[in-house]
Structures are given as structure tokens and as C-alpha cells.
Amino acid sequence: MAQVISKDAVRQIIAEGNARLLVNEAERFGTALADDKLTKTQIRGVFGTVRQIQAAWDKEAGEAEARKQLRRILLLKPRLAYQARRDEKVKPLADVLVGAIDLVADGKDSAQQTERFGYFVDLFEAILAYHTAAGGK
């Protein structure tokens, strides 16, 4: 089973925007998920929702829209828990994403939450890209 990205690394990626660490961890983790036979379909369901949230939650969104989209991202946590329960191969990804979602929500204001959400999307996108590059089906 893929070794998850450590909580400290996720914190550095999401709260501090450490791009170098993001790339290194996403490559390692995405490759491990592909080796564990996690399918793109299992990832893309959640990723599609994240992209919809991203489209609505842009830098120009007002405070009310940012709160609405933060609620939507928080509601991914039960969905991830359900998917991880249905298929054990999803659990490492769910663990990483849930920790990252918590860090987005812990931002001190909507501007910081918006910035952290951008880092969250970058991380998720990089994991998916490396998963695909490693032959994930």
C-alpha cells in the first residue's frame, strides 16, 4: 500500500506553498498509487468535483462565494471516507486529501483559504499527473 504524504509535508505544501516539496511528494505518491493499481476512475470522480469548485472559487469571488465553495470542499471529506471504505486502495489518497482539506479550511480568512485551495488543487493535479505517467489505468 502506498505510503501517504506525511502530515508535515502536507502542511508545508498547503500552508506554506512549498512547490519543490509538492512536486517531489506528488511524484513519489502518484507513482505508488499507480503501483497499487488505484484507477484513474477512482481519482477522477473527486478530481472533477474539485475542478468544479475551482471554477466557482476564483480570486475574484466575493466572501459569500468563498464560504459556499469552502463548504463544498469540506463536504468532500465524507465522500472520500465512503470511497476509502468501499475500496482500500483509495484510503492513502483519501488520507492525504482530507488532511489537505483541513488545512485549507484552517486559513485565517477567505484570502488565505483561497490561496491554500489553489495549493490543494496543485497537489491533487500533480498526484493525478504522476499517477498517469507511472501507468495508472
DSSP 67-115: HHHHHHHHTHHHHHHHHHHH-GGGHHHHHHHHHHHHHHHT-SSHHHHHH
Number of domains in the chain: 1
Domain range for 117 is 7-133
> Is 1 within a domain?
no
Choose among 91, 90, 98, 114: nearest CA to 7: 98
pLDDT, tens only, 30-60: 999 999 998 888 888 889 999 999 988 876 6
Task: For residue 61, tell me if it sits in a domain.
Answer: yes
**pLDDT of amino acid 41:** 86
Distance CA 26, CA 5 (A): 8
Q: Please indicate, yes or no, if residue 112 is contained in any of the structural domains.
A: yes
pLDDT tens for the 137 residues of the chain, in order: 778 899 999 999 999 999 999 999 999 999 999 999 988 888 888 899 999 999 888 766 678 888 889 999 999 999 999 999 999 999 999 999 999 999 999 999 988 999 999 999 999 999 999 999 988 77
pLDDT of res. 40: 87
Asked if residue 2 belongs to a domain, the reply is: no
Cα–Cα nearest to 75, from 52, 59, 58, 55: 52
State the pLDDT at residue 61. Answer: 66
